[in-house]
């Protein structure tokens, strides 16, 4: 197994590891990439993608077909100025992947990240995720948390976050923390609220809630102004589209056709499934062709993202082909 590629080994003091992958509302991925940008964290290592990801389609750009690049899996570091004078402060290692890996390889993938974390003597891990809730998109998102030990639970109570006491965190944003706990590194997950009906839309409010909580817990300053602006724009676009849809096609549009098309085009880009989820769905379709029990997992994934209708014909074809094969 190829090791992680480390371009330099920074000297870090009491580092925490932050991890994030794309997922619902892109809450985790957006929060982590924004954090890297605002802290001006520096890249220092990466995990070769070819061991844990595989291509499922070709990409077409400006009419030309080609193979897409494999997802990136990068480590960044940030030296906290406060560590020079405080033993309570922590430097940060931030790991970001642009897609979720094939979950059949998740164990080895997690071990690769944990191995690097242990080499830097990381004592705690912080994960990010989304928390779908029956809220309106105009409401402020609250931050939730779930720790891997009772000690962390007690220490985090003072920040007045909402405790996620039951349920599960799907995908790598949840799985990694569980595997890390088994391997001796505890931590907690910060979750940002998103409306149930917008899980396919990038949600800056959810990411902002996560980073506000992180800022309090780690006592670091994060400039959230740009993220707040993005959240306002997103809320405005959704409001305007909903107003248009409520009026119906027979009613005169309250805004010009050109503006309507602009809104629709904008939201069409936002409501697409995250690339990592598309790849996971395609992989499950391929697996179900030869292993029909995989269809159950596929159906659960399609239902979770509310896209079963879009894939219904392909899904039913799996059973037709099996029946033809059996006959």
217 is a domain residue:
yes
3-state secondary structure 118-137: HHCCCCEEEEEEEEEECCCC
Which whole number is the average pLDDT over 93-99? 96
- The answer to the question of residue 5 being in a domain is no
DSSP code, position 40: T
Residue 17 lies in a domain: yes
β-bridge partners, 147 = 188
Residue 173 belongs to some domain of the structure: yes
Question: In Å, what is the CA distance from 242 to each residue of 26, 137, 245, 247?
Answer: 21, 11, 5, 9
The confidence score (pLDDT) of residue 252 equals: 45
Asked whether residue 48 is domain-assigned, the answer is: yes
* pLDDT band with cut points at 50, 70 and 90 for residue 253: very low
Pairing assessment for the beta strands 42-46 and 59-61 based on DSSP bridges: unpaired
> Can you give the pLDDT at residue 303?
76
Per-residue confidence band for 7, with pLDDT thresholds at 50, 70 and 90: confident
Q: What is the mean pLDDT of the chain?
A: 87
The pLDDT > 90 percentage for the chain reads: 53
Q: pLDDT grade, residue 272 (50/70/90)? A: low
277 — pLDDT class (breaks 50, 70, 90): confident
| % pLDDT > 70, the chain | 86
DSSP 88: T
Q: Same domain for 210 and 317?
A: no
What pLDDT, on the 0 to 100 scale, is given for residue 282? 85
Q: What value does the mean pLDDT take over residues 101-105?
A: 86
pLDDT at 255: 52
> Per-residue pLDDT tens for 227-247?
999 999 889 888 877 776 666
- Nearest CA to 97 out of 282, 274, 300, 284 is that of 274
Say what the pLDDT of residue 237 is.
82
Is there a single domain that holds both residue 61 and residue 175? yes
- Residue ending a domain, among 223, 238, 258, is 223
- Whether residue 160 is found in the same domain as residue 192: yes
CA distance 181 to 124: 10
Least confident piece of the model among 43-52, 274-283, 285-294? 274-283
Domain with 202 in it: what CATH number? Answer: 3.40.50.10900
Do 21 and 162 lie in one domain? The reply is yes
Say whether pLDDT at 259 is over 70: no
Same domain, residue pair 180 and 309: no
Pair 47, 89 in one domain: yes
Residue 80 counted as domain residue: yes
In this prediction, residue 23 carries a pLDDT of: 93
Task: Indicate whether 235 and 295 sit together in one domain.
Answer: no
pLDDT 10s digits, 138-168 = 899 999 999 999 999 999 999 999 999 888 8
d(CA 206, CA 211): 9
Highest-scoring range by mean pLDDT, 18-22, 61-65, 67-71, 253-257: 18-22
What is the domain extent for residue 236? 229-270
Whether 204 maps to a domain, the answer reads: yes
Structural domain total, the chain = 3
What is the per-residue pLDDT for 140?
A: 92
Shared domain for 237 and 301, answered yes or no, is: no
198 and 133 together in one domain: yes
For residues 263 and 283, state if they share a domain: no
pLDDT tens-digit profile of 209-233?
A: 999 999 999 999 999 999 999 999 8
How deeply is 111 buried, as exposed, middle or buried, from its count of CB atoms within 10 A (0-12, 13-18, 19+)?
A: middle
The pLDDT of residue 283 is 86
Range 201-204 contact pairs with CB under 8 angstroms and sequence separation of 24 or more = 201/25, 201/234, 201/238, 201/267, 201/270, 201/271, 202/25, 202/26, 202/30, 202/234, 202/270, 203/25, 203/26, 203/27, 203/30, 203/130, 203/141, 203/231, 203/234, 204/30, 204/228, 204/230, 204/231, 204/234
Which of these three, 223, 252, 283, is where a domain ends?
A: 223
Residue 216 resides in a domain? yes
């094939």: which residue's tokens? 102
pTM for this structure?
0.75
């Amino acid at each position: 197994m190829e090791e992680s590629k480390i371009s330099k080994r920074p000297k870090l003091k009491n580092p925490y590891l932050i991890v994030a992958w794309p997922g619902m509302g892109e809450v985790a991925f957006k929060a982590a990439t924004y954090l890297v940008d605002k802290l001006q964290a520096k890249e220092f290592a990466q995990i070769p993608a070819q061991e844990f990801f595989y291509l499922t389609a070709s990409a077409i750009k400006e009419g030309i077909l080609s193979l897409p690049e494999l997802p990136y899996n990068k480590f960044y570091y940030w030296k906290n100025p406060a560590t020079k004078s405080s033993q309570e402060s922590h430097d940060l290692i931030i790991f970001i992947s642009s897609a979720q890996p094939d979950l059949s390889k998740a164990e080895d993938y997690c071990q690769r990240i944990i191995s690097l974390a242990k080499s830097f003597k990381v004592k705690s891990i912080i994960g990010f995720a989304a928390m779908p809730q029956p809220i309106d998109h105009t409401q402020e998102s609250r931050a939730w948390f779930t720790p891997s030990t009772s000690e962390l639970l007690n220490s985090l109570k003072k920040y007045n976050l909402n405790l996620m006491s039951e349920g599960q965190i799907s995908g790598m944003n949840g799985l990694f923390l569980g595997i890390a706990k088994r391997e001796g590194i505890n931590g907690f997950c910060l979750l940002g609220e998103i409306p149930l009906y917008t899980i396919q839309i990038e949600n800056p409010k959810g990411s902002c809630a996560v980073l506000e909580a992180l800022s309090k817990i780690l006592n670091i300053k994060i400039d959230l102004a740009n993220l707040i602006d993005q959240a306002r724009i997103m809320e405005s676009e959704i409001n305007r589209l909903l107003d248009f849809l409520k009026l119906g096609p027979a009613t005169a549009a309250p805004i010009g056709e050109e503006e309507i098309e602009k809104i629709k085009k904008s939201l069409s880009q936002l409501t697409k499934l995250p690339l990592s989820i598309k790849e996971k769905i395609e992989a499950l379709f391929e697996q179900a062709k030869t292993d029909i029990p995989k269809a159950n997992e596929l159906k659960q994934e399609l239902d979770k993202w509310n896209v079963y209708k879009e894939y219904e014909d392909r899904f039913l074809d799996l059973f037709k082909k099996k029946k033809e094969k059996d006959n």
